[in-house]
Amino acid sequence: MRSDLKVEQVFFCPTSSNRISLTPGETVAIKRIAGKFLEKDNKVVKHVMGYQYGGFQFGETIFLWQGDMLYHKEKSTDNIVIIEDMALGNLSNAYFKHLGKPPYRNIEIDEWKLILSELDAPTIKWSDLTNDTKR
């Protein structure tokens, strides 16, 4: 996985259409997020409930996306490693805005590109929201 994170071309693979190349800004953002998989303090589970919206492909490695998390199944242990990031939550919000109300439909590639542009948008950090300024 470590070498796959170094690839230059990253793709988004929606569950309902062909893979999409990310822009340079989107690539930088998703590489920052996926780089958290190399940290030691990630959540490890056996199952993930719910439906993934798609995945991000780095070389041969695919990280599945759901809500504000990416996850990856380790081949050696069958454990699922999860990382969370607020930028993925923003991406999820954009996804649900485009998805609309039931009955749900497949999202077209042009719509996916617009959704993915959320990765390139600035992300508000939790510390920005909780920073108490003294007067």
Chain centroid, CA 50 distance in Å: 15
The two beta strands, 54-58 and 80-84, are: unpaired
Q: What is the pLDDT of residues 82-108, one digit of tens each?
A: 989 999 999 999 999 988 887 877 888
- CA-wise closest residue to 69 among 43, 46, 47, 99: 43
Q: Does position 28 have pLDDT exceeding 80, yes or no?
A: yes
Mean pLDDT to the nearest integer, 94-123: 86
Q: How confident is the model at residue 135 (pLDDT cuts 50, 70, 90)?
A: very low
Q: Does position 123 have pLDDT exceeding 70, yes or no?
A: no
Token representation of residue 21? 């190349």
- CA-wise closest residue to 48 among 73, 25, 26: 73
Instruction: Establish how many alpha carbons lie within 13 A of residue 77's alpha carbon, considering only the half-sphere containing its beta carbon.
Output: 10
Helices and strands per DSSP (H, E), number in the chain: 4, 7
Q: Distance between CA atoms of 25 and 20, rounded to whole angstroms?
A: 14
